[in-house]
Chain A
Amino acid sequence: MTIRIHVAGHLKDFTGESVDLEVQGARDILDVIMQLDARIPSIKDRILDEHDRRRRYINIYVNEEDVRELEGEATKTKDGDVIYILPSVAGGKGALSPEEGTR
């Protein structure tokens, strides 16, 4: 089962642009983050607080759906899911990409 994780903002300092994570039987978002933490120590603490609740300003999307509209950290995951972990102040830095610069 493969889940691809995209991150942005300060989290990229720890993960790179995206992480292809092979998870073993991950049931939900929390499980995925726990497995991510095993690969990148301390990343979980930057996404979730000590009670495994999303930190303020951290947004998590599963296949572009906000987990707030689903079941939060308990949102179920499946093979092929793409998870976005995006701090809400992630944007605004650097030059625009060609796509971003065209409207």
Chain B
Amino acid sequence: MKPRNLVMLGTKKGAFVFESLDGRRTWKSSGPHFKGTPIFHVTFDPRTKTMLATINNDFQGARIAKSRDNGRSWKEGKKPPRFPKASDWTVKQLWHIEPGVEDEPNVLYCGVNPAALFKSNDGGETWALNQGLYGQETRPKWNPGAGGLCLHSILVDPRDPDTLLIAISAVGILKTKDGGESWSFRNKNLLADFMPNKYPEYGQCPHHIVRHPSRPDVIYQQNHCGQYRSEDNGETWKEMVGNLPARFGFPIAVDFNDPKRVYVAPEESGAARLPPDGRFLVWASDDEGRKWSAQGSGLPRRSFYTVFREGMDTDEEEPSGVYVGTGNGQLFFSRNAGERWSLVADGLPPILSVNAASA
């Protein structure tokens, strides 16, 4: 029996769910859910078979909703992430939601703007601020990037629930090994070419980080100033720009089956934020970013599409499917690791996140 393949999109105007029951040959879609509302992230929690969405409604505050029927119906939690009254901070946006380790099925994490981490121990019904990060000693010197002071990436170590890596724009990578009691930077070798000191302790601008599921020490990063990989769970980073046409970009994805195969969608520069040479391409590497090749078959020959930081993902099939959603509302899919792309949907609102799952 073929698995149920799900692709969840967060867009600027709601969430969409694409579902395939025939081995990803045809897709049925539903949406927009939360019509008109920016949905920064939709993901699937395989532990509880639950979809999770971050709803960034300017009018009634950011909230989290769950669906147990693959997006057909949604229910909000009781108390969304909110700062305690003593802080004087206000939650502006919920950027990313991340399930905890397998044997803690009720634990979820949420990264927000202004940069803070919230944890739920009851499957998203209620949330508590991580005080360790909130009180991190360098916090008064953190400054927002163009997208705000957002905590946008959370990597849980599947071997140890007390070890997490997070990424904050214009601040960098931080790690805790004590369940969030304390946090320290892991920005070694990461360039910040917009700073007087090009390799500071913090102030780098990671755009997205991903961990390989079966080799959890392998982490890839698309940074404002380049592409990087870590082979030691984020302790150190190696630059892997190689023959890519640009260092800048937002999304990065790793092949589900092959920890050495990685995908990016470079943009010309932080100033232009357009695909190099007026052609949108996904670039892939089979050797941990040493050598890259353009994967453009099936993509338009001339296009100025760009991809937001959560806009690319791979699925769990063999070979792993690759999905990329553009800021112009196209969803592309490749069933052969990027060799050939097909358009799944066009005319969607700007796509903010793409997540693939098998249910």
Contacts and interface: CB of A to CB of B under 8 A. Distances in A.
Query: A and B: real partners?
Result: yes
Contact of A55 (B60, B78, B84): B60
B90 A58 contact: no
Contacts of A51: 85, 88, 90
A103 interface: no
- Interface residue range, chain A: 10 to 19
B85 A45 contact: no
B91 interface: yes
Contacts, number: 43
B59 A55 contact: yes
A58 B83 contact: no
Interface string A70-91: 0000000000000000010100
B273 interface: no
B261 interface: no
A58 B88 contact: no
Contacts of A87: 59-60
Interface string A34-58: 0000000010011101110101111
A5 B58 CA distance: 22
Interface string B52-88: 0000011111000000000000001011101111001
Contacts of B57: 10
A23 interface: no
B61 A45 contact: yes
A10 B60 contact: yes
B59 A45 contact: no
B59 A9 contact: yes
A80 to B, nearest CB: 28
A50 B85 contact: yes
A56 B58 contact: yes
A45 B83 CA distance: 12
A11 interface: yes
Contacts of B85: 50-51
A45 B289 CA distance: 46
B215 to A, nearest CB: 40
A51 B78 CA distance: 18
Contacts of A47: 60
A87 to B, nearest CB: 5
B214 to A, nearest CB: 40
A50 B90 contact: yes
B60 A50 contact: no
Which of B59, B76, B90 has the most chain A CB within a 10 Å cutoff? B59
A44 B188 CA distance: 45
A55 B88 contact: no
Interface string A1-25: 0000000011100000000000000
Nearest to A58: B59
A42 B91 CA distance: 16
Contacts of B91: 49-50
The 6 closest A-B CB pairs, nearest first, are A46-B60, A50-B82, A49-B90, A87-B59, A57-B59, A50-B83
Interface of A: 9-11, 42, 45-47, 49-51, 53, 55-58, 87, 89
Interface of B: 57-61, 76, 78-80, 82-85, 88, 90-91
Given A45-B82, A58-B59, 14 more contacts: A10-B59, A10-B60, A42-B78, A45-B60, A45-B61, A49-B90, A49-B91, A50-B83, A50-B85, A55-B58, A55-B59, A55-B60, A56-B59, A57-B59
